[in-house]
Amino acid sequence: MSSGVRENTVVTDRIQIHCLESGPADGEPVVLLHGNLSTGRFYEHLMPRLPDRYRVLAPDMRGFGDTQDLPLDATRGLADWADDVALMLHTLGIQTPPHLAGWSTGGAAIAAFAHAHPVASLTFIDPVSPYGYGGVRADGTPCFDDCAGSGGAGVNPEVVERLRAGDTSADSPFTPRSVYRALYVAPGFQTPPEREDVYVAEILKTVLGDRNYPGDAATSPNWPGFGPGTSGILNALSPKYCNWTNLLDVDPKPPVLWTHGAADLVVADGSPLEAGTLGAADQIPGWPGNEVYPPQPMVSQIRDLLARYEAAGGRVRTEMFPGSGHAPFIDAEDKWLEVFTAFLGDERSS
């Protein structure tokens, strides 16, 4: 445990949430939400470095880490995560609107929270597209009405097998360690070995099966033959259920910071993990072509939504990190922390 970081379990009426915490109990609340296949501990190295006027909370979201194992209702998108955070803050007696940061999947969760509760600010870290993950055109409309090509069946089965086996090696491209090195951080970035070991151990705490990762699956008459089920994290990210364009409706509009690794492969225009890109590369047979099922321009979709948010009166700051991967707060730690801290300070003084 990093110096100055505490851990506890917050027992709410809904779920028991494992949470890391730093800073004074009466500090301004800053909540850091992790993404898929990760936990709050991915933020641990940052927490002691934030100014001591902030009370920093990094919970493990349901389905991950040491939080109580409860199923995720995918038909609500990431609203289960948002509701869990709201109850955690209520249970802790925090009434001040929080600063929220959401990484990847967590980006959709903080948007859902802001739609239901006042917030001081929102920081999106390489967030999932506002139209969900996979199977949508540039304007956000589904390639097929049933959102075929998204959801729990889209993961490589060996990833799940390696997780189930508790594999800590790098003997296959599908082990947690190999996936972390290839997709979480920039190519060639060397995470300190002891920290990488912690991250791998945390990934291996993922709850597997239909209830969480990857979730259940449905067959589809449309290419590539599968569609989203109704439970679990990958289905919650399907465009059938995940859509945070209602951020435009939030009033008053909190200030927004969007940080993104320019070399991110997970959330990208033409991510190699997305069905349209895989089909175009002949990695999935029978691709119906660009007119029917184009690769998803995820970063462009985020940029477009935030431009609309700004045009509607919101304040947006964008920071792209050259050469950084899916987690710029890890592989560009100092620069990312500088940007984030300045943003928090700006909103505190405004």
Classify residue 195: in a domain, yes or no: no
pLDDT score of 2: 76
- Rounded Cα–Cα distance for residues 121 and 185 (Å): 26
* Separation CA 243–CA 236 (nearest Å): 10
The pLDDT, as a whole number, for residue 295 is: 98
218-250 per-position pLDDT tens digit: 999 999 999 999 999 999 999 999 999 999 999
**DSSP secondary structure letter of residue 207:** P
pLDDT at 346: 77
What is the pTM assigned to this prediction? 0.97
So what's the pLDDT on residue 347? 57
Q: What is the pLDDT of residues 295-345, one digit of tens each?
A: 999 999 999 999 999 999 999 999 999 999 999 999 999 999 999 999 999
In a domain, 166, yes or no: no
- The verdict on residue 344 lying in a domain is yes
CA-wise closest residue to 43 among 333, 260, 264, 345? 333
Residue-level pLDDT at 348? 53
Question: How far is it, in rounded angstroms, from Cα 19 to Cα 4?
Answer: 14
Does a structural domain hold residue 198? no
Would you call the peptide bond into 224 cis, given omega within 30 degrees of 0 as the criterion?
yes
The answer to the question of residue 235 being in a domain is no
Residue 284 lies in a domain: yes
Residue 307: give the domain boundaries.
Answer: 6-142+240-349
Burial (CB < 10 A; 0-12, 13-18, 19+), residue 251, is exposed
The enclosing domain of 320 has a CATH number of 3.40.50.1820
Q: Are 258 and 247 in contact (CB under 8 A)?
A: no
Spans of the chain, pLDDT less than 50: 349-350
Identify which of 51, 54, 63, 77 has the alpha carbon closest to the alpha carbon of residue 18: 63
How do beta strands 99-103 and 208-209 pair?
unpaired
DSSP H or E run through 99: strand 99-103
**Residue 122: strand pairing partners:** 100, 256
The rounded Cα 105 to chain-centroid distance in angstroms is 2
- Integer CA distances (angstroms), 110 to 30, 35, 310, in order: 12, 11, 18
Q: Does 16 reside within a domain? A: yes
Into how many domains does the chain fold?
A: 1
Angle between helix 105-116 and 79-91 (nearest 10): 60
Domain membership of residue 339 (yes or no) is: yes
* Residue 157 amino acid letter: P
Among the listed residues 124, 143, 159, the one whose alpha carbon sits nearest the alpha carbon of residue 273: 159
Identify the DSSP state of 17: E
Question: Residue 19: beta bridge partners?
Answer: 8, 59
* Residue 262: closest CA among 335, 202, 190: 335
